[in-house]
């Protein structure tokens, strides 16, 4: 399943999940504005983070990895591997990485996405980059075992789900974990005691995120269900929910 997608997807050659924008090669930052992400930044005076993101994990990093398997020899394809927490700087870091990565002739338009979540706005911006570059995404980690390297079980939790939405094709192997969490932000009161309060996303922000999901071809019901969860609950998506809300395919 995974191997077939990797071998068939080429950079810029994926078929997008409807609906998707077909505008020309404008600057990607202009593209973000066209998808109302600038509006999100105005609404959010502070970065909204999904608390499912584990602070002890490092910021998301990107690398190229080769899918080694018997028989492909020098023709084994390369994929992009993304691991870690999605921070505000992550979308631009990926753009810088992508400019160099596209020089590889063996690179497929596939990204292995493995993340505990992070910043909501940055995750949507990263998803917009995935859509602009027409990348397919697989929720998986990537490991090497002797002469063989390839996918292992991974996760896409909390805000990572919004980055995943941007991919033109989305694959969620049954062994990997996809989960929802409610958006919130921690506000410090500025006093010496360091007392902090917690604020949840208001209806305007939830509506903006739902519209983003719809634009990426995902049911807004996924966002509404995430925002209806108890504050500290992480909901592990079933294969039926993943399919019903059009988030990803669980089989090729």
- Euclidean distance between CA atoms 201 and 189, whole angstroms: 18
CA distance 160 to 119: 9
50 has a pLDDT exceeding 80: no
Q: Please, what CATH class does the domain formed by 2-244 belong to?
A: alpha beta
Read off φ and ψ for residue 106, nearest 5 degrees: -90, 0
DSSP 63-125: EEEE---TTTGGG--EEEEEESBB-TTHHHHHHHHHHHHTT-TTEEEEEEEEB--BBHHHHHH
Q: What are phi and psi of 75, to 5 degrees?
A: -95, 10
- In this prediction, residue 71 carries a pLDDT of 65
Pairwise CA distance, residues 64 & 73, whole Å: 17
> Measured on CA atoms in the order 44, 45, 46, 51, is the torsion positive or negative?
negative
Mean pLDDT of the chain: 78
Report which of 38, 17, 5 is spatially closest to residue 121, judged by C-alpha positions.
38
Give 90: exposed, middle or buried? Use CB within 10 Å, 0-12, 13-18, 19+. Answer: buried
pLDDT digits (tens, 9 = 90+) for 224-247: 999 999 888 999 999 999 999 999
* Residue in the block written with tokens 């080429």: 10
Kindly report the pTM of this predicted structure. 0.77
pLDDT band at 192 (very low <50, low <70, confident <90, very high): low
> CA distances (Å), 61 to each of 58, 73, 98, 139, in order?
8, 27, 12, 15
DSSP per position, 187-234: EE--STT--EEEEE--HHHHHHHHHHHHHTT--THHHHHHHTS-TT--
Tokens for 177, please give them: 């974990």
Residues 62-112 have pLDDT tens digits of 999 988 766 666 677 889 999 999 999 999 999 999 988 877 777 889 999
Domain ranges within the chain, ordered by starting residue: 2-244
pLDDT confidence of residue 235 = 96
For 3-26, what is each residue's pLDDT tens digit?
555 545 555 433 333 333 333 333
Which pLDDT value is given to residue 168? Answer: 95
pLDDT category at 195 given cuts 50, 70, 90 is low
Contacts of residue 193, defined as CB under 8 A and 6 or more positions apart, other chains included, come to: none
How confident is the model at residue 78, as a pLDDT? 87
């Amino acid at each position: 399943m995974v191997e077939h997608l990797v071998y068939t997807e080429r950079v810029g050659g994926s078929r997008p999940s409807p609906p998707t924008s077909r505008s020309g090669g404008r600057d990607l930052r202009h593209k973000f504005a066209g998808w109302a992400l600038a509006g999100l930044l105005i609404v959010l005076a502070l970065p909204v983070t999904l608390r499912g993101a584990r602070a002890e994990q490092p910021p998301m990093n990107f690398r190229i990895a080769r899918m080694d398997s018997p028989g492909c020899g020098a023709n084994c394809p390369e994929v992009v591997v993304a691991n870690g927490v999605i921070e505000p700087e992550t979308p631009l870091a990926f753009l810088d990485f992508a400019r160099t990565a596209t020089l590889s002739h063996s690179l497929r338009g596939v990204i292995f996405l493995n993340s505990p979540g992070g910043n909501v706005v940055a995750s949507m911006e990263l998803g917009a980059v995935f859509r602009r570059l027409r990348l397919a995404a697989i929720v998986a980690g990537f490991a090497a075992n002797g002469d063989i390297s390839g996918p292992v079980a991974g996760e896409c939790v909390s805000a990572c789900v919004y980055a995943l939405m941007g991919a033109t094709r989305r694959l969620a192997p049954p062994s990997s974990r996809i989960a929802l969490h409610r958006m919130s932000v921690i506000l410090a009161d500025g006093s010496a005691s360091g007392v902090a309060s917690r604020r949840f996303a208001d209806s305007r922000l939830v509506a903006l995120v739902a519209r983003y999901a719809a634009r990426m071809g995902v049911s807004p019901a996924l966002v509404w269900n995430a925002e209806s969860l108890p504050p500290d609950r992480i909901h592990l998506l079933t294969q039926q929910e993943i399919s019903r809300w059009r988030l990803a395919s669980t089989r090729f």
